[in-house]
């Protein structure tokens, strides 16, 4: 198939490469000429604008895949494509757009006869080798038409054992992609996926922090351990119930830099965690872990806050507690009082 790919960043460029390797033709566009020209040298057709992308897509219905930042940038691209494409053509948003924006985009384009698909795409920079896990929303006939594209991008069965009880025959889910439902459903599922990711990463981070601080001077001397974090991460990868790809990445980082001195600990959030918490509130669903993990990211980006200074001031006011002068262990405080 021939498909347009708009946005050639960390994922868009590699997705184009994976598609071309599978025999598909990609008409690519990026605002940076150097980026699109580099892909052209690998076999892509470089376009100079969105209009040029549409012009070069000679197969109908045309399909244009967006891999752009969520929000205004994607909104503008969808609007422009709405004025360039024809009835029956397809726009795919493979970025991390808010699912309610997808519903709005789908309604707008439907008025012009243009079909809209939202595709939550997971795989990051490793997707070119591992494949991309995709959660797709939109009209079934449009999704079915693009099945060769999704199949090429997906990981396939690989060496993962089949889940007992799923029945005979390969399903799309087993190959790494699903049609989750109508417009917005794909990005909604991906949004919750990323919220879960926040919680998993935070649990690993806290666990390794506890391990690292087991040699704290605030502990009894015979209870202090100096633990080998790279070895612990490695052994957990092998047969442990908490093994995962995220742990694999953490183990690799610790093997290269056991103290993680290359990292400041400033952790950004890209929006999906917030949207997941908002959805939980709308549905009245408790989401303690995901919410706490999101707040931990907020905290990582600040020094001591005014609120924390307020806490310290109140503790000093009612108990004369002086910052930095007390043991961390509450039991040690109790013993001192006795």
Residues designated as active site: 190, 197
Contacts of residues 17-26 at CB distance under 8 Å and 24 or more positions apart, as own/partner, are: 17/42, 17/128, 18/127, 18/128, 18/131, 18/132, 18/152, 18/153, 19/149, 19/152, 19/153, 20/44, 22/152, 23/152, 24/148, 24/149, 24/152, 25/1, 26/2
What is the edge-to-edge ordering of all strands in the sheet holding 177-181? 45-46, 25-29, 2-6, 63-66, 90-93, 115-122, 133-137, 177-181
Residue in 277, 253, 247, 256 with CA at minimum distance from that of residue 265 = 253
Chain-centroid distance, C-alpha 162: 25
Cα–Cα distance for residue pair 326/315, rounded to 1 Å: 12
CB 274 within 8 Å of CB 294 = yes
CB 149 within 8 Å of CB 131 = no
């Amino acid at each position: 198939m021939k498909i347009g790919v708009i946005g050639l960043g960390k994922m868009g460029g590699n997705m184009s490469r994976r598609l071309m390797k599978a025999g598909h033709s990609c008409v690519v566009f990026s605002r940076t000429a150097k980026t699109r020209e580099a892909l052209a040298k690998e076999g892509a057709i470089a376009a100079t604008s969105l209009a040029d992308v549409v012009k070069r897509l000679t197969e109908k219905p045309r399909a244009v895949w967006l891999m752009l930042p969520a929000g205004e940038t994607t909104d503008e691209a969808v609007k422009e494509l709405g004025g360039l494409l024809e009835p029956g053509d397809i726009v795919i948003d493979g970025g991390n757009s808010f699912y309610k924006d997808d519903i709005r985009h789908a309604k707008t384009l439907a008025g012009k006869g243009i079909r809209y698909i939202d595709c939550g795409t997971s795989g990051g920079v490793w997707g070119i080798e591992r494949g991309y896990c995709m959660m797709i929303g939109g009209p079934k006939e449009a999704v079915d038409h693009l099945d060769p594209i999704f199949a090429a991008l997906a990981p396939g069965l690989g060496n993962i054992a089949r889940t007992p009880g799923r029945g005979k025959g390969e399903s799309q889910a087993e190959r790494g992609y699903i049609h989750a439902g109508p417009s917005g459903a794909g990005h909604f599922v991906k949004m919750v996926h990323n919220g879960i990711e926040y919680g998993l990463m935070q649990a690993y981070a806290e666990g390794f922090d506890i391990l690292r601080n087991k040699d704290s001077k605030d502990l009894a001397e015979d209870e202090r351990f100096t633990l080998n974090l790279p070895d612990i991460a490695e052994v957990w990868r092998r047969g442990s119930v908490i093994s995962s790809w995220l742990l694999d990445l953490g183990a690799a980082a610790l093997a290269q830099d056991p103290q993680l001195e290359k990292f400041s600990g400033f952790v950004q959030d890209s929006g999906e965690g917030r949207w997941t918490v908002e959805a939980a509130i709308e549905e009245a669903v408790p989401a303690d872990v995901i919410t706490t993990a999101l707040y931990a990211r907020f905290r990582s980006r600040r020094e001591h806050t005014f609120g924390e200074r307020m806490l310290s001031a109140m503790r000093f006011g009612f108990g004369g507690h002086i910052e930095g002068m007390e043991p961390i262990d509450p039991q040690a405080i109790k013993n001192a009082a006795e």
